[in-house]
A and B are shown apart, each in its own frame.
Chain A
Amino acid sequence: MATTALPQRGYLHDDTPDLGRWIRSWLFTVDHKRIAILYLLSINFFFLLGGLAATFVRIELITPQGDLMSSDVYNRMFTLHGVIMIFFFLIPAIPAVLGNFLMPLMLGARDLAFPRLNLLSWYLYMFGGIFALSAAVLGGVDTGWTFYTPFSSTYSNSNVILTITGAFIMGFSSIATAVNFIATTHKMRAPGLTWFRLPLFVWAMYATSLVIVLATPVVGIALLLVAIERLWGVGIFDPALGGDPLLFQHLFWFYSHPAVYIMILPAFGVISELISTFSRKRIFGYEFIAFSSMAIAILGFLVWGHHMFVSSQSVYSSLVFSFITMLIAIPSAIKVFNWTATLYKGSISYRTPMLYALGFIGLFVIGGLTGIFLGVVAIDIHVTDTYFVVAHFHYVMVGGTIMAYLGGIHFWWPKMTGRMYNEIWGGISALIIFVGFNMTFFPQFVLGYMGMPRRYHVYPEEFQILHVLSSAGATVLAVGFIIPIIYLMLSLKTGRIAGDNPWDATGLEWKTTSPPPTHNFEAIPVVTTEAYAYPPEAAARDAAEWRPGSPL
C-alpha cells in the first residue's frame, strides 16, 4: 500500500520536544522495539571494536616477524577480538536485535512476556560491556577467549577477573532474553497461531533460547571458579593440589560448544524467512526445519569434547564425541537441502537480503563441512590449533551468522524504520563482503593445513604470501562492513517510504504499519493459515508478471 509519510504513531515517534524526556523515553523504555534499537546501536559499537582488534591482528600478520607488536600485546589483541566478538557481538546479535524486535510481532503479541526484564537485559549487556572495555583499556587480557587454566587462574598477569566479570554479566543478559522468548512463545501466541503455524524464525529463536538457558550458567560457574582461584590464590584447577585443569575445559566447552549453536540457530531462522520470501514460495519441509532446529539444540550438548581431542581427554571419549559430531551434520544438512528445494522452481529475486542468504548457504556449507573434517579425530590432531580451525569457525560465524544478520537487518529494515535502504549500494556491499570474506579466510584453510599455528604472530617465510592475501581480503571485508552503516543511516532521512509490506511477504509482522505502533497491532490478529502461505502458483505467476519496479 503506497504511503507518502511515516505513520504518525510509530514506536519511533515521540511527542516530547524536551531532550531530557526524549532521552528518558529511550533509556527507560519497555517497548521491545526500542530495546531492539538500543541493542542494534550497542552491538554495532562492539562489532566495530572487535573489528579494530582484528585489523591490528591482520596488519601484524602481513610480515613474518613480530614487528608491529610484541607477543604479549599480540596475545591481548586476539583475545580482545575473540572476547568482544563472541560474547558481545555474535551471541546477542540476532536474538537481541532481530529477535527482540520481531518475536512479539511474529507471534501477534503486544510485547514480550516480561518487558522490564527485557530492558534489564540491555542494561546488563551494557554493564558487562563496560567491564570488558575497562579490561581492554587497562591493558587487556592475554589468555585467549578460552581462558584455559592454569594459565588464566594462576600464571597470567593480565586483567582476567575484569574480563571474566564482563562475560559473566553478559551471560545474565543472554539468559534474560532467553527467558523472555520462551515464555512469550509458549503463552502469548495470537489466537489460531499453533506451534506448526509459527514462522521458522520463531522456532529458531526458541531453540536458541533453550540452549542459552541450559548452557550459559555452566560457563558462568566455570569462569567464576577461575576468578575465585585468582583472587584467593587457591583453586580446584590447580594441579599442585590435585586439581585437574581439564575440568575447566569440560565446564567451559559444555557452554562454548552449544554457544556456537546459539550463534548459528538464529541465523538459520533468518535464512528460512529470506529464502521463502525471495523465492515467493512456501518453505519446503517446514516440519523438518522446525524439528532440525530442536535436534541441533539438543545434540549440541553432546559434542563439546571435540574441542578437546588433544587435551589429554581419553581416546574413548574423543571417539564418542567425534561420532556424535558427525550426527549433528545431519540436521544442518536437512536445512540446507530444504532451502535448496525451496529455491527450486521459485521466483528468485536478487535483492540484498537474498544475496546475503544465498551467500550464507554457500559459505555455511563450506564452514560446516570443514567442521566435519575437524570432527574426525585423526585429522583434528593434525590441524587443531592451526589456521584451519580459525578458517572453519570464521566461515560459519562470519560467512554464516554475520551474513544472516546483515540479510535480516536489510530485510526488516523497512519494518523497523519505515524506510527502504538504497538497493544498489546494498547489492554492492553484499558482493564486496562476499569477495572480501573469501579472500580473507580461504587462504587460512591452506595456511592451517600447511601447519601455521593459530595465535602466533611470528611465522616462517613461506607462509607470508597467504597471510598477505588474507590481510588484503580483510581490508576489502572491512570496507564491505562499513558501507552498510553509511547507507543505512542515510536511508533514515532519504530512503523511500516503505509501506506496510514492501516485500509482499507473509508473516504477522508485515500486517502492521512500518514502523509499527508502540503496541504493535491495532487489534490482535487471528491466524487461520499456515506460515509462508503463498498460493502454489505464486512463484510462477510472479515470475511471469515481473516488471521493473515490481516489489521483488
Chain B
Amino acid sequence: MATTTPTAKPAPAHEHGHEAHGRELAHHFESAQQQKETATLGMWVFLVTEIMLFGGIFMAYIVYRWAFPDVWAEAAHHLNTPLGAVNTVVLLVSSLTVALAVNAAEEGNRRRLLTMLGITLLLGATFLVIKGFEYSEKFAHCAGAADPVAWVTGGARLEERECLVPGRNFVFPEAHGAEGSKGAGAAHGAEAGHAQPQAGLGSPYQLFYFLYFVATGLHAVHMVIGLTIVSVLTFIAWRGVITPTYYTPIEVGGLYWHLIDIIWVFLFPLFYLVH
C-alpha cells in the first residue's frame, strides 16, 4: 500500500490498479490491517449498545426480584429448566464453532470455515426450535392443553388451570406447600404466600413472566439477526471472498454471535435457576 497513495494526482483515480491490494480494501483505509482493526472496534462499540439495551431489562429484573423474592422463586419453578440448560449448552458450543470458524478463516481453510459456520447455523436453529417449543408449551397450557402436541391434536387436557402468558387470562397455579410470604410481598399475595391478589390488583407473577417473555423474546430476535448474519457469512465464504488477509466479516459477525451467547449465559440462571 505504501506506494499507492498518489501525491499530486486526484485521489479517487484508480491508476494503481487492483493488483496492489485486494478488492475488498475500501479506499478510505490505508491498509487491510487498519480496516480490520477499525471494523472490530466499530463492532465492539455497537456491542456496548446491545449490552446497555439488555442492561435495561436486567435492571427491571433486579428491582423486582429484590422486591418480590418469593414470587420470583415460585414463578421460576414453572419454567422448563432442562430445556433451558440444553439451550445454554447449545449456545456455548456454537460460540466454540464460531471461534473455530474465525480461526479457520485466518488460516485460509475454506472447508473448515464453511463447516464451522454451518454447524453454528444448525445450533442456532436448534436453539430457536427449543425456545419455540418452550413458548408453545406456555401457550398450550393457556389453551388448556397438556402440551403443544396435544394442543394441535386435541389430546390430553391440563388438569389444573394454568396460564403463564401475561394478560387478561393469566392464572398462576395454586402453590403446593406454599411458603409463607414475607412482608414485602404480602401486598400483592394476600394470605398464604400464593397467587391470589388483592381486590383490584393483578397477579404479581405476571411481572416475572412479562420480563421472561420480553427478555427471551428480545434475545430470540437477536438470534434471528445473528442467524441471518451467519448465513450471509456462509454465503460469502462459499463464494471465496474470505482470505487470510481479509476475514474481517467473519471476525466481526462472530463478535455479534458471542454477545448473543453471553446474554443467554445470564438469562439462563436469572430466569430458570431461582430458588
Contact = CB atoms under 8 A, between A and B. Distances in A.
A225 B11 contact: no
Interface in A143-195: 175, 178-180, 182-184, 186-188
B167 interface: yes
Interface string B59-86: 1100110011001000000000000000
Contacts of B133: none
Given A178-B45, A217-B53, A225-B60, A187 B37 contact: yes
Contacts of B68: 242
A451 B53 CA distance: 38
A413 B28 CA distance: 24
A235 interface: yes
Contact of A179 (B27, B42, B188): B42
Given A109-B28, A187-B38, A242-B68, A214 B52 contact: yes
Interface stretch (A331-339, A347-355, A455-463, A514-522): A514-522
A505 to B, nearest CB: 23
Contacts of B126: none
Contact of B11 (A182, A236, A241, A519): A519
A240 B5 contact: no
Is the interface on chain B under 10, 10 to 19, 20 to 34, or 35 or more residues?
Answer: 35 or more
A244 B71 CA distance: 16
B236 to A, nearest CB: 16
Contacts of A222: 56
A217 B201 CA distance: 31
Contacts of B202: 234, 238, 240-241
A185 to B, nearest CB: 10
A236 B211 contact: yes
A183 B170 contact: no
Interface string A101-137: 0001000011111110100000000000000000000
A15 to B, nearest CB: 13
Contacts of B166: 232, 234
B134 interface: no
A186 B41 contact: yes
B214 interface: yes
Contact of A218 (B39, B56, B206, B214): B56
A221 B7 CA distance: 49
B48 interface: yes
Interface in A214-243: 214-218, 220-222, 225, 228, 232-236, 238, 240-243
Nearest to B9: A522
A216 B55 CA distance: 12
A524 interface: yes
B168 interface: yes
Given A519-B10, A522-B11, A188 B53 contact: no
A183 B38 contact: yes
A111 B203 CA distance: 55
Contacts of A486: none
A109 B34 CA distance: 13
Contacts of A215: 52
Nearest to B58: A221
B52 A110 contact: no
A247 B50 CA distance: 20
Contact of A242 (B6, B8, B50, B64): B64
B10 A517 contact: yes
A184 B38 CA distance: 8
A338 B70 CA distance: 56
B52 A242 contact: no
A9 interface: yes
B49 A523 contact: no
Which of the listed residues A186, A242, A250 has the most CB atoms from chain B within 10 Å of its own CB? A242
B10 A522 contact: yes
Contacts of B12: 518-519
Nearest to B204: A242
B168 A523 contact: no
Contacts of B29: 188
A217 B38 contact: no
B49 A110 contact: no
A111 B210 CA distance: 44
A424 B26 CA distance: 44
A299 B192 CA distance: 46
Nearest to B61: A236
A64 to B, nearest CB: 39
B11 A213 contact: no
Contact of A221 (B26, B28, B56, B200): B56
Contact of A233 (B28, B167, B188): B167
A236 B45 contact: no
Contacts of B60: 225, 236, 247, 251
Contacts of A110: 11, 27-28
A241 B204 contact: yes
A182 B211 CA distance: 33
B206 A241 contact: yes
A173 to B, nearest CB: 12
B14 to A, nearest CB: 12
Contacts of A217: 49-50, 52-53, 55-56
A518 B9 CA distance: 14
A527 B3 CA distance: 20
Nearest to A109: B28
A236 B64 contact: yes
A221 B207 contact: no
A113 B56 contact: no
Interface string B257-271: 000000000000000
Contacts of A214: 48-49, 52
Interface string B203-243: 11011001100100000000000000000000000000000
A234 B71 CA distance: 17
B43 to A, nearest CB: 9
B150 to A, nearest CB: 26
B207 A243 contact: yes
B205 to A, nearest CB: 9
A419 to B, nearest CB: 23
A179 B206 CA distance: 37
A40 B71 CA distance: 52
Contacts of B50: 217
Contacts of B9: 522
Contacts of A234: 166-167, 170, 202, 206, 210
A41 B53 CA distance: 31
A233 B34 contact: no
A232 B5 CA distance: 58
A220 B201 contact: no
Nearest to A244: B63
Nearest to B26: A115
A241 B204 CA distance: 5
Interface of B: 5-12, 26-29, 34, 37-39, 41-42, 45-46, 48-50, 52-57, 59-60, 63-64, 67-68, 71, 166-168, 170, 187-188, 200-204, 206-207, 210-211, 214
12 contacts: A110-B27, A114-B39, A180-B42, A187-B38, A188-B29, A214-B52, A234-B166, A238-B202, A242-B187, A251-B56, A519-B10, A519-B27
Given A109-B28, A218-B52, A228-B214, 20 more contacts: A115-B26, A183-B41, A183-B42, A186-B41, A187-B38, A214-B49, A217-B52, A217-B56, A221-B55, A221-B56, A234-B166, A238-B202, A241-B207, A242-B68, A242-B71, A519-B10, A519-B27, A522-B8, A523-B5, A523-B6
